[in-house]
Chains A and B, each alone.
Chain A
């Protein structure tokens, strides 16, 4: 005896529900991604770079005045993070 569509759907209800949740997740991040004002934020960063001629990241690191390693002067100071940023 063939099962009706309602019975078939009821049988795999949890499976469909899981799929629905996953689709909602994918759609919501896709919408957020495409509707984010990316151009405006990029424009703002570019304008401030033009004004200040600075494009370094505003890192929250404890800056050390000494730019060289006191023990091994030929090596970079490993305490500084900006040895890779600059």
Chain B
């Protein structure tokens, strides 16, 4: 490409920047919004997929009238007896509603007397004195819970009202790490026996039981064995959880993609309309270039380059703004679409994940209609007689 062509292109772009500015701004906004949604969705999906790797393979719950009810701790021993099953863990957890049922937190009971839990806790909370933590009624709270309690003047402890009508004073021992906020924002971790008291469970009751089956070819067999144990038993495996995550992101991502396609169609129509009615000066410019000896190919090349620069600039600026907005400023307002805003405030930090396949699809979906909407009218003008075009 000669420097005089580049100079002419620069003149076309920058001397008449007012003409391009509105299109560039609208394009940047479109790309920014869609990329932001895409970045948030990819980041959450990535984090969930990573946690899913360490999640137990199976969850066994007890159903009564289609509703989940506490399971008996005897089931724990029955599952433990099944050949091929490892890491059987009874879970006690439930939602605790603060005053007036306005806000709620997820109470999770952990058996800290187990050596593994002991070690994992030390890994999660650096410099924690586990023995100190296990002395008396104490809990670890998520950042969201901590802020909520602080705003209600519960700086050191909170009085839980148990289903039996008793108050249980539990001290806040520490706050769970900020980088786990995607999962722990509304979480309260406490010893399993304390969680039973707060949630009103009996001593031999658990919410559900989890376990692993290291050999995937045994999954179906173990599933059948479990279902034969009790009639009121429900088994959910990791693949089903994975499937539901995919459904969620296809649902949300697809929803935004449809919105984007509608907006893009409208945008392309407006562009086509605008360039179709190539106003007199533009028509005269093309006529002049043709009269000066430019071929149709040269005129199309100039307009194509001009459009390509506008497209690339809008795309790079839009994606850059979206990246900064999501991964540096943590997507204020927009993250609420994915994480909600009715309960405790979540100031989650998103892990940077860029899905190149979707990003390139967005580029193609945006660039192709744009180029077509510009090139077709320009071609129609440039094929006419230069004399007629300049009239």
List chain A positions with a Cβ less than 8 A from chain B: 3, 8, 11-15, 18, 22, 25-26, 28-29, 32-33, 36, 38, 40-42, 44-63, 67-68, 81, 84-86
CB atoms of B3 and A58 under 8 A apart: no
Chain A's closest residue to B117 (CB) is A51
Report Cα–Cα, A63/B48, bound state, in Å.
21
CB atoms of A55 and B316 under 8 A apart: no
What chain B residues lie within 8 Å of A22 (beta carbons)? 312-313, 316-317
CB atoms of B110 and A52 under 8 A apart: yes
1/0 contact trace for B316-359 toward A, CB 8 Å?
A: 11011001100110000000100111111110110110100000
What chain B residues lie within 8 Å of A58 (beta carbons)? 106, 142, 144, 181-187, 339, 346, 348
Contact A60 B51, CB 8 Å, known A36-B352, A41-B349, A54-B187: no
Contact A57 B339, CB 8 Å, known A47-B120, A63-B104: yes
CB atoms of B342 and A8 under 8 A apart: no
Chain B's closest residue to A62 (CB) is B342
What chain B residues lie within 8 Å of A44 (beta carbons)? 124, 177, 179-180
Main secondary structure of the interface of B (DSSP, over half): helix
18 contacts between A and B (CB under 8 A): A12-B6, A29-B320, A32-B352, A41-B47, A42-B47, A44-B177, A45-B47, A45-B50, A45-B180, A49-B55, A50-B54, A54-B91, A58-B181, A58-B184, A58-B339, A59-B186, A60-B346, A84-B247
CB atoms of B316 and A48 under 8 A apart: no
Main secondary structure of the interface of A (DSSP, over half): helix
User: Is residue B108 within 8 Å, beta carbon to beta carbon, of the partner chain?
Assistant: yes
CB under 8 Å from chain A, chain B span 179-197: 179-187, 189
Select one of A3, A15, A29 contacting B10, CB under 8 A: A15
CB atoms of B14 and A41 under 8 A apart: no
CB atoms of A11 and B352 under 8 A apart: no
Report Cα–Cα, A48/B342, bound state, in Å.
24
User: Is residue B270 within 8 Å, beta carbon to beta carbon, of the partner chain?
Assistant: no
Chain B's closest residue to A34 (CB) is B352
Report Cα–Cα, A29/B328, bound state, in Å.
10
What chain A residues lie within 8 Å of B120 (beta carbons)? 47, 50-51
Give the Cβ gap from A45 to chain B, nearest Cβ, in Å: 5
1/0 contact trace for B102-119 toward A, CB 8 Å?
A: 001010101000000100
Contact A52 B54, CB 8 Å, known A25-B316, A59-B339, A85-B248: no
CB atoms of B67 and A38 under 8 A apart: no
What chain B residues lie within 8 Å of A18 (beta carbons)? 309, 313
CB atoms of B54 and A46 under 8 A apart: yes
Q: Which of B91, B144, B180, B345 has the most CB of A within 10 A?
A: B180
Contact A55 B55, CB 8 Å, known A11-B7, A46-B50, A47-B120: yes
Give the Cβ gap from B242 to chain A, nearest Cβ, in Å: 11
User: Is residue B272 within 8 Å, beta carbon to beta carbon, of the partner chain?
Assistant: no
What chain B residues lie within 8 Å of A81 (beta carbons)? 340
Chain A's closest residue to B236 (CB) is A86
What chain B residues lie within 8 Å of A56 (beta carbons)? 106, 183
Report Cα–Cα, A40/B351, bound state, in Å.
10
Report Cα–Cα, A5/B3, bound state, in Å.
10
Q: Which of B117, B182, B319, B346 has the most CB of A within 10 A?
A: B182
